[in-house]
Chain A
Amino acid sequence: QSVLTQPPSASGTPGQRVTISCSGSSSNIGSNTVNWYQQLPGTAPKLLIYNNNQRPSGVPDRFSGSKSGTSASLAISGLQSEDEADYYCAAWDDSLNGLVFGGGTKLTVL
């Protein structure tokens, strides 16, 4: 059972907009920033969003992040087949004094 809660799966058709939620608590998302990672099959994770809504250079602006209270969301617009991957949220947890990840969401492009 992960400290951060994500839906196990999400799906959409090419061109659609999909959102992935990440629910936490006051000790993690409520008091710290959220990062999002994309993991393509068989590869290492890649930083997609940091500090709630910042994109590293090279990440398309189709990807966006937001945070409100103890929840965060990742939005992908103009869905493409290459977006099919696992997505993880992460945040520092002040109570656990450690970094916690969500359980991951497998995105399928139909």
Chain B
Amino acid sequence: EVQLVESGGGLVQPGGSLRLSCAASGFIFSSYWMSWVRQAPGKGLEWVAHIKQDGSEKYYVDSVKGRFTISRDNAKNSLYLQMHSLRAEDTAVYYCARGRTTFEYWGQGTLVTVSS
């Protein structure tokens, strides 16, 4: 059974940093692109970033470029999102999803709240 479990969310002050993790199981992690998608409270879905199987290609939505870094550790079946210079508008539930543009599997999400 495919499982994606996010962790690392929490309350952080504006300008702060946070690292999200996504533990994958039930499939060959190293064979898939992986993505992060977020959803602000009461709002729609927003793609954040995705990373190629070997980590050689990474793409980001413009609003997070230069502040967020997506990475992966295939030996640990894990996906990460390092977030710096966090802003109030980054407040959202962050989902880990399998795939580059088609997301058949999603995690349950982890809430990131940016507030003083």
Interface residues of A (CB under 8 A from B): 2, 32, 35, 37, 39, 44-47, 50-51, 56, 86, 88, 90-92, 96-104
Contacts and interface: CB of A to CB of B under 8 A. Distances in A.
Interface stretch (B16-24, B66-74, B98-106): B98-106
Contacts of B47: 90, 98-101
B95 interface: yes
B107 A44 contact: yes
Contact of B59 (A32, A90, A97): A97
Given A86-B44, A97-B59, A101-B46, 8 more contacts: A44-B95, A44-B108, A45-B103, A88-B44, A90-B101, A96-B62, A101-B45, A102-B44
Contacts of B62: 96, 98
B88 interface: no
A90 B39 CA distance: 14
Task: Bin chain B's interface residue count.
Answer: 20 to 34
A34 B50 CA distance: 18
B45 A104 contact: yes
Contact of B106 (A32, A44, A104): A44
Nearest to B108: A44
